[in-house]
Chain A
Amino acid sequence: MSFLLSYLVLATIYSIAALSTNLLVGIIGIFSVSQAAIIGVGAYTVALLAGVVPFPVAMLVAVVLCALVNVLLALPSLRVAGDYFVVTSFGCQLVATAVFINWDTLTGGASGIVAIPAPSLFGFTADTPQTFLVISTIALLAACAGFWLLMRSPFGKIVHAIREDETAVLAAGKNVLRAKVSVSAVSGVYAGLAGGLYATFLNFIDPPSFDLHVSILILTMLVVGGARTLAGSIIGPFLLLALPQLLNLVAVPPTMAGPLRQFIYGALLIAFMLFRPQGIAGRRL
Chain B
Amino acid sequence: MLFLQLLVDGLVSGCAIGLVAVSFSLYYSTTRVFHVAHAGIYTLGGYLAWYGAMQGIPFAIACALAVAGAAFAGAVIQRFLYDELERREATPLVMLIASLGALAVLQNGVAMLFTPNILQFPNPWRTRMLDLGIASVSYAQVLVAASGLAAFGALMWMSRRTLLGRRIRAVASNPFLAEITRLGPRSVYLAVMAIASAMAALSGIMVGLDQAMQPYTGVLVLLTATIAVIAGGIGSLTGAFVVAVALSVLQNVALILMPGRWSIAATFALFVVFILVKPEGLFRKR
Contact = CB atoms under 8 A, between A and B. Distances in A.
B275 A80 contact: yes
A224 to B, nearest CB: 11
A84 B279 contact: yes
B90 interface: yes
A62 interface: no
B91 interface: yes
A84 B104 contact: no
Given A99-B265, A266-B101, A260 B112 contact: yes
Give the interface size class of chain B.
35 or more
Contacts of B271: 87, 91
A270 interface: yes
B276 A212 contact: no
Contacts of B57: none
Contacts of A123: none
A208 B26 CA distance: 33
B93 A31 contact: yes
Interface in A5-43: 25, 29, 31, 33
B93 A285 contact: yes
A33 B100 contact: yes
Contact of A274 (B93, B98, B230): B98
Contact of B98 (A90, A95, A269): A269
Interface string B258-286: 00011011001101100110010000000
Interface stretch (B178-186, B192-200, B218-226): B218-226
A86 B109 contact: no
B151 interface: no
A94 B220 contact: yes
B105 interface: yes
B36 A86 contact: yes
A58 interface: no
A125 interface: no
Given A86-B96, A259-B116, A277-B90, A270 B102 contact: yes
A223 interface: yes
A88 B275 contact: yes
A90 B108 contact: no
Interface in B74-90: 81, 84-85, 88, 90
A267 interface: yes
A238 B90 CA distance: 27
Interface string A168-195: 0000000000000000000000000000
A86 B34 contact: yes
Interface string A42-73: 00000000000000000000000000000000
Interface in A248-279: 255-256, 258-260, 262-263, 265-270, 273-274, 277
Contacts of A274: 81, 84-85, 88, 98
Contacts of A213: 104
Contacts of A90: 36, 219, 223, 226
B116 A266 contact: no
Nearest to A73: B272
Contacts of A216: 100, 104
A259 B272 contact: no
A94 B261 CA distance: 11
Contacts of A260: 108, 112
B130 interface: no
Given A90-B226, A269-B104, 6 more contacts: A87-B226, A94-B219, A266-B102, A269-B97, A274-B85, A277-B94
Interface of B: 28, 34, 36, 81, 84-85, 88, 90-98, 100-105, 107-109, 111-112, 115-116, 215, 219-220, 223, 226-227, 230, 261-262, 264-265, 268-269, 271-272, 275-276, 279
5 A-B pairs closest in CB distance:
A266-B104, A269-B101, A273-B98, A259-B111, A263-B108
9 contacts: A25-B93, A76-B272, A94-B220, A94-B223, A259-B112, A266-B102, A266-B104, A269-B101, A269-B104
